[in-house]
Structure 1
Amino acid sequence: MDKKYYATKLGQIAYAGKEGKPLIVFLNVFGTMDTEQNFAKVIARLPKEYGIFAPDYLNTGFSGKSNAQYSLTTEADELAAIINGFNAAKVIIVAHSVGGVYAFQMQAKIKNLHALIFIEPTTREIILDPPKEKSYLDHDKETADTDQFIHDKIFALFSDRKANDFWQTTLANEARFDEQSEQELASAIEEDGFWQSSKKLDGKVPVTIFTEAYRQKEYERSEYNNQNTKIIPLGTFHYIQWEYPEEIAQEIISASAD
């Protein structure tokens, strides 16, 4: 898919996309990864007729630097407006990590939202009061050298050609942004009202959460859990979509058929 660009009042948002039905929206982890590449193994397993919208956040990926002070919520509003502009009859959001917070903030604003599928979405608890259980502490030790850990996982789970492309794109994107961009990004997260809120997902659409088994209870007590939530333990590290793309793709296909 070719990269396209959408000018917003906050800055230029880059995205990979194609027309089709239903519209599958992919929301990324924070960092320099390109959203399309992060979800490439899932996208490759979806029917060709599906539409795709995979944006990079401001100050990340292929998107531009922010040109105004913003928060995660105000950026989510801009993304929701872009999505609604496609006039899709059915929208499914697939959100990884902090993408879950974006999805949480925009879920009431998306027209024809049909399902939410989360991959270890960021919880208030993990940011404000991280669990002290041994499983969490052991996991932190295993992934202490994050860049090297991610590099090794990419080269273990993608073909050599795709791994090289993925990693080189990530490094090139990282080089595009300066310290001010990083500060703007950090501020957008820290100053967002999501963290002080007690609001939970309203349960109007089906919710699926893919998570490593050790985090299951965290999600059971989280803002993402309600009477319409299904939690699926799967994977051995945060990027479950790299290990189990077939299972996630099948969940998208199943949700789209309901």
Structure 2
Amino acid sequence: MPLSQGLQILKSDSQLNYRLWDLGKVKKIVFKMNKLKILLMIALFAILGGSKSNAQTDFSIHLGFVSPQGSYSDSYAQQGIFALLSDTERAGAGFGVNFGTKFRYAISSAKGLGIIATADVLLNDVNKDVKEWVKDREKEVLERDYVEDISFTTSKYINIPIMIGLNYEYQFGNNGIKLFGEVEGGFNLGIITDLKATAKINDHIDDVGVSNEYYKYEPNTSFAFQIGAGIMFSDKYSLGIHYYNLGSQKIKGEIIEEEIFDGDIDTFKEKFSRATINPSMLTIKLGYHF
């Protein structure tokens, strides 16, 4: 079966286009990320260096869940990320988890005010609509007389924001309870994991083979900010709610299609550049302070 007339699992029969990432572009992204990291660290140390040496420090770790907002959570015709080839900004992200760290440096000359630096990992699966679309697509493809079996591995969204900003704490008497608010800016590294479809196909002559389609996405860097507020108990535990806006991420990369029959592999590659998504989310975090 010629590849140009192959299985084409992920798209509808009337709409075809596909995706990967190459090492050179990844190196450029990492280089850009490292430059931003260096600038943030220089700014942080400059600020800390200007503060008095007796300022108090606080280090914490936190864990929570993530609720995607706006177009980041919406689906287009239930397809979510699958429909990004149609230039939709609706990514179809579902609920996820968050873990990360925060460093706080209290400014002794300004009661309650501190400088913070944070690093987070925000993980989101695709939402229920997208998963239902995948099931429907599996059934549709299985109706083709040359398809014997099919399986999908859906993509995941990974966002890694690194930021610096200001935090203010207000203490109620001596009962160990504090309210806090904070605002930060920095950069985000956005990653979409590979999307894969694998089918067992029969050419109706004398051979059964495998058709693979891989969508591989380039990582993105973008400006990001977050605002948050919460409560602390006994200087050890905190509970906060935070809003993250992680900027605009261009969806681009390359598709790899391959068909394997009797040990022979036919491969087709095509680059793409499509929609821009705008990840934003609410998180609720439980923190432990050392």
Pairwise TM-score range, normalised by the shorter structure: under 0.3
Tell me the TM-score normalized by structure 2: 0.20
Higher share of residues assigned helix: 1
Structure number with bigger Rg = 2
Tell me the TM-score normalized by structure 1: 0.21
Higher share of residues assigned strand: 2
